Structure 1
Amino acid sequence: MIWDKYIFEDTFFEYKVQHQVFDDKENPVKNYWELLAKNPHAERIPFLLSASAANYIAQLNGEIKSLPDVLGNTFFPIESFKLDLISSNVEDSSKHKIGITFYTPELLLIDILDNKYLLSKNTSGENFETFMFAFHPQVAIANYSTL
């Protein structure tokens, strides 16, 4: 997707800038893991790269439209994100790998039926407007409470 390409390009550009800031001028390294081993402060780079992705995330207007529910409605609410830098190399963009974790507002997991989550945006009360979302290989539950 073009959206993914823009995030990739902007975070790679920002990575190269930040790499220079944290690298040793006398004994430079090329990849993120070497940099992290030499300078523990380089662990801040993923947070700094987040600013490069923030404008693109804002374009989503709080919804991931590429994950439809079982009825084909293309919405999945998000309220925040975290960018992870998996690897990168200042000279080789093919080694630049990031991951973006999106967090939804609190949702109520009512049940799991036939490999689908039955969810509600309402988390309390007696009546729940629900939606059903099929299991997806790139979707995981990050926090679960049994109350």
Structure 2
Amino acid sequence: MSKKVITLCYRKIIDAGNTNPWDKFVYEDSFAEFKMQAQFYNQEQRFSTFAEMLVNVPEADKLHFLVSAAITGYLRQLNGIIPDVLDNLGRRFLTFENFKFEIINSDINDHEKHKVAINFFSKPLIWHDTIDNMLLVSQFKETDEDEIFTNLFQLQQFVSIHSIKDID
């Protein structure tokens, strides 16, 4: 019987309205780094927004990567566990290896317009079943075991199945 192995993506959006201390640190440090890195792409100070730089300055899309350096320490604090996504018992259970940082919006002159996203990609999971509106999953392991520990969780806003693969 074939199994489905899935990878989930959780898109965490952080802006001025976030109240969680971790989110605030990511917000503040990514804005400070954006202002610093944007100077290279805006030496004549003609643009104030990230969107203007993307449209008018070749290679300004590198700012996503350059600004991400300011938040990698905060990602290490998560110890490989995706924040905010809970199973039906209220536990954080999704682990991640990869992420992608993205600047959604920013303005070097207006701190309040800064908005970023961190896309967390889970480690592979086996999708065992769908029960009502919940997925029953377990960590993917190459070996067959008699007992498999599972998590039951509801797909929530900003969580999607990023990839799926059938295995035997």
Which range moved further: 93-102 or 115-124?
A: 115-124
Q: Within 2, Cα distance between the matches of 1:126 and 1:23?
A: 57
Residue pair 1:65, 1:75 contacting (<8 A) in 2 also: no
Greater helix share, structure number? 1
* Partner in structure 1 of residue 13 of structure 2: none
Correspondence for 1:76 among 94, 106, 110: 94
Q: Within 2, Cα distance between the matches of 1:91 and 1:136?
A: 34
Cα 1:96–1:65 change in 2 (3 A) is closer
Residue pair 2:93, 2:151 contacting (<8 A) in 1 also: no
The yes-or-no answer on 1:132 pairing with 2:161 is: no
The yes-or-no answer on 1:42 pairing with 2:60 is: yes
| Amino acid across the alignment from 1:28 | R
Q: Within 1, Cα distance between the matches of 2:85 and 2:50?
A: 32
Q: How many residues align?
A: 146
The yes-or-no answer on 1:30 pairing with 2:48 is: yes
SS in 2 for 1:47: helix
User: Where does the alignment leave 5 or more consecutive residues of structure 2 unmatched?
Assistant: 1-19
Cα 1:3–1:143 change in 2 (3 A) is same
The yes-or-no answer on 1:12 pairing with 2:21 is: no
Length-normalised TM-score, structure 2? 0.80
State the 1:74 CA deviation.
Answer: 2.8
| Amino acid across the alignment from 2:123 | P
SS in 1 for 2:130: strand
SS in 2 for 1:144: strand
Q: Percent identity?
A: 34
The yes-or-no answer on 1:90 pairing with 2:85 is: no
Would you identify which runs of 4 or more consecutive aligned residues in structure 1 move more than 4 Å?
none
Which range moved further: 131-140 or 86-95?
A: 131-140
| Amino acid across the alignment from 1:92 | D
Residue pair 1:64, 1:77 contacting (<8 A) in 2 also: yes
The yes-or-no answer on 1:110 pairing with 2:128 is: yes
Structure with bigger RCO (C-alpha 8 Å, 6+ apart):
2
User: Where does the alignment leave 5 or more consecutive residues of structure 1 unmatched?
Assistant: none
The yes-or-no answer on 1:62 pairing with 2:98 is: no
